[in-house]
Amino acid sequence: MDTASDEVDQEADRSRRRFIKGAVTLVGAAGVATLFSGKILEALEVPTSDVRARSGQDRRWVMLIDLDKCDGCGACTVGCTEAHFVPFGQQWIRVYEVQDEFGHRYFLPRPCMQCENAPCLKVCPVGATYQKDDGIVLVDHTRCIGCRYCMAACPYDARSFNWTEPPHTAEELAHAYSPEAPWPHRAGVVEKCMFCAHLSEHGELPACVKSCSKEMGNGAIYFGDLREDVVSNGVETIPFSKTVRDRGGFRLKEELGTAPRVWYLPPSKG
Amino acid sequence: MVDEEPPVDPRLLAPLQKTTWRFYALVGVLLAVIGWGVYAYTWQLRSGLSVTGLTDRVSWGLYISNLVFFIGISYGGTLISGILRLTHAEWRRPITRLAETTTVMSLLVAAVFPMLDLGRPDRALNLLLYRRIESPIVWDFLGIFTYLAGALLYLYLPLIPDLAIVRRWVKAGRMRGLLYRLLGGRWTGSRLQKRSLERSIGIIAVLIIPVAISVHTVLSWIFAMTLRSGWHTAILGPYFVAGAIFSGTAVVIITMAIVRRVYHLEAYITLRHFRNLGALLLVLDLVVIYFTLSEYLTAAYGAESQDLLWLKALVTGRYAPLFWLMLVGGFVFPAVLLVLRRTVAGIVLASVLVSVAMWLERFLIVVPTMMAPQMGSTWNLYTPSWVEWSITAAGVAAFALLCAVFTKLFPIVSIWETREAATPSEELHGVEEEMSA
């Protein structure tokens, strides 16, 4: 009985040695492969560091929306939709009609908040959503897998999905796609307002700002650089932080800690 | 050595030897349902997800509910069989194989659903190429495949000695013969092999439990990590895990009843098994009711405005009929049934109600939260389309088909483990040795 179990032990020992040898070889091979993984990724053309985030400019873009001036005309939505060929059914800047607890009604335009601590960015499994160093949150439609987790995560309903192939125009298709100017549009990916990243980097105001001032003469939307501390609606340029302080400016859902880059000035007129 | 062993109970090998027309009819029906689901999916591939009832505001629906449901029912095998093995509950022996089978098959089905939900399935490989470990979806991806690997091992290891028996006693065609040889060809039943096998099973039975718990926890974290009412709560992890064992146990009981009836295994799967698992189901039922109460009462009493909106959808709004059906018909009534009707029929009926209620529970976690308005005041409506229902039916059919085919290829009651139960003294001896060491 004893010798039999000894033999079993010895055989078990030999088999264990064989296994450990095999395992060590395998782990070693995996280690070597990891060492060269940079090269392998390069060969597969996967960027190993995020070059997309560099804007080449030292900016912190912000938006200031004066609810006192907004009459809910929707020119911002129309201007945005036309400028970016936004697919039917989507509103990258949407105007909500809100009623406060005293029955007073006012309008609330909602672009993407470009949150500093963006919940959509945190949850993206493939890094299709990323933040440029100027603070703008962009979506790379060539990488998005359409899982829509970012839509579930966004507290401001700022994101839309292309549920089917959007209808195209020749003008839209002629444009070269980039995350800063994300068209032609395509099916199966998530889209949103990108603060007109393609315009701001050339010193131009976003499409919604221009529409609001030009078409209706309201000038309710201001845009600018937090570092310069001034914002402009295309007609006038006003100090930013002082205006926010003096007029009781606020951000939407401040308590969530998302730190939006869009401030609002409260409506005061009745 | 094999010759010295007592001949195998023919009832255990019969399903592998004889196949009735009824089985082929069942396979035909299941394949038809799956085929219809595949057709629906090709429809979706052509026209995009616009063929679903999903919208920009309710952007997750049936597919994600099904993912959570099928991952949930996979718990039956792992936890029942794992825990019963570790605690040396001798009565477990005839049902462990069956429980582990439901685990693997439901996981295989579950893993497909997130793929069906993708807007760009052609880019699924991006999950590997560009994976961001910060995203709960990636935790989930890693978790599900680790769990699947573990569950396959846990099903396979105890199968090895039976494969030798099957090769010896069942006349199989060339393909099946090759399958048995590939999977269990080197098993001789030597002492060394037996010892290694039992150790391996012991290790995997311990490991699979934390893996299973972590998988359903990270699945709940997909929801809990967002800032939405009804999702963003610390209870969601344990709530998901408890619901998973609950629904998993119910599905194991239903599978037991079917296998017992169809293959005449009353001598192996007895009233005792139903009663023991029925008692477990009752305890889990109470745990789930407790979690449900904790979750909804906390939100209702605190009465934050966003929480109230979401609660309204459940308690008095659009989904109130489903919510109360789940709570009364699927949680409370089965508990009463499990106390008062301790027959096979009573316990199986309770299990069917529980399975349906747990599917509803998954749906009611995913959808109403997205229905409640976050901006403005318009309720977001969602009605699943025929495509989503067809694919859901195909998922259920695929689960049934995988289990049915498994019973035709492998003994659904573990032969060597039930045989060992006849000589309990050896096991007792082993335990004493361990204790004195």
User: How far is the alpha carbon of A203 from chain B, nearest alpha carbon, in Å?
Assistant: 31
Question: How many C-beta neighbours within 10 Å does residue B196 have?
Answer: 17
Residue A65: beta bridge partners? Answer: A221, A264
Query: For chain B, which residues score pLDDT lower than 50?
Result: 1-4, 423-437
Per-position b or e across A132-159, b if 16+ CB within 10 A of its CB: bebbbbbbbbebbbbbbbbbbbbbbbbb
H helices, E strands: number in chain B = 20, 0
ipTM reported for the complex surpasses 0.95:
no
Q: Which two tokens stand for residue B108?
A: 């295989």
- Of A203-207, A217-221, B353-357, which gets the smallest average pLDDT? A217-221
DSSP-assigned letter for residue B116: H
Superfamily in which the B14-360+401-423 domain is placed by CATH: Formate dehydrogenase/DMSO reductase domain (1.20.1630.10)
pLDDT of residue A269: 57
Q: Which of residues 114-143 of B touch A (CB under 8 A)?
A: 114, 117-121, 123-124, 126-127, 129-132, 134-138, 141
pLDDT of residue A194: 95
Q: Which two tokens stand for residue B75?
A: 């718990």
pLDDT of residue B101: 95
CB contact A155 to B (< 8 Å) = yes
N- to C-terminal Cα distance for chain B? 30
Q: Which two tokens stand for residue B194?
A: 């037996």
Residue A262: beta bridge partners? Answer: A63
User: How far is the alpha carbon of B306 from chain A, nearest alpha carbon, in Å?
Assistant: 11
Whole-prediction pTM? 0.91
Q: Which of residues 223-262 of A touch B (CB under 8 A)?
A: 256, 258
- Of A25-34, A64-73, B10-19, which gets the smallest average pLDDT? A25-34
Query: CA angle B361-B367-B371, nearest 5°?
Result: 140
pLDDT of residue B427: 43
- Report the distance separating Cα B309 and Cα A22, nearest Å: 59
Parse chain B into domains and list their residue ranges. 14-360+401-423
Q: What is the pLDDT of residues B235-278, one digit of tens each?
A: 999 999 999 999 999 999 999 999 999 999 999 999 999 999 99
Residue A42 has pLDDT above 80, yes or no: no
Per-position b or e across B143-162, b if 16+ CB within 10 A of its CB: bbeebbebbebbbbbbbbbb
pLDDT of residue A140: 96
Are β-strands A221-225 and A129-131 bridged in parallel, bridged antiparallel, or unpaired?
unpaired
> A221: pLDDT confidence band, cut at 50, 70 and 90?
very high
CB contact B189 to A (< 8 Å) = no
Given an 8 Å threshold on Cβ–Cβ distance, is B56 in contact with A157? yes
- Report the distance separating Cα B140 and Cα B221, nearest Å: 9
- Give residues with Cβ within 8 angstroms of B336, minimum separation 6: none
Q: Which of residues 217-256 of B touch A (CB under 8 A)?
A: 222-223, 225-228
Given an 8 Å threshold on Cβ–Cβ distance, is B123 in contact with A98? no
Mean pLDDT of A237-264: 96
CB contact A184 to B (< 8 Å) = no
For residue B25, CA distances in Å to B22, B31, B96, B371 come to: 5, 10, 28, 42
DSSP symbols for A208-244: HHHHHHHTTS---EEEEETTTTEEE-SS-EEEHHHHH
pLDDT of residue B428: 42
For residue B173, CA distances in Å to A144, B7, B16, B17 come to: 47, 22, 11, 11
Q: What is the pLDDT of residues A86-121, one digit of tens each?
A: 999 999 999 999 988 888 999 999 999 999 999 999
Question: How many C-beta neighbours within 10 Å does residue B303 have?
Answer: 9
Torsion angle in degrees (nearest 10) through CA of A63, A69, A72, A73: -100
* Whether A106 contacts B89, CB under 8 Å: no
pLDDT of residue B188: 87
- Report the distance separating Cα B251 and Cα B351, nearest Å: 7
- Report the distance separating Cα B342 and Cα A177, nearest Å: 66
Given an 8 Å threshold on Cβ–Cβ distance, is A164 in contact with B48? yes
DSSP-assigned letter for residue B330: I
Chain B residues with CB-CB distance to A89 below 8 A: 56
Nearest to B381 by CA among B433, B297, B307, B319: B319
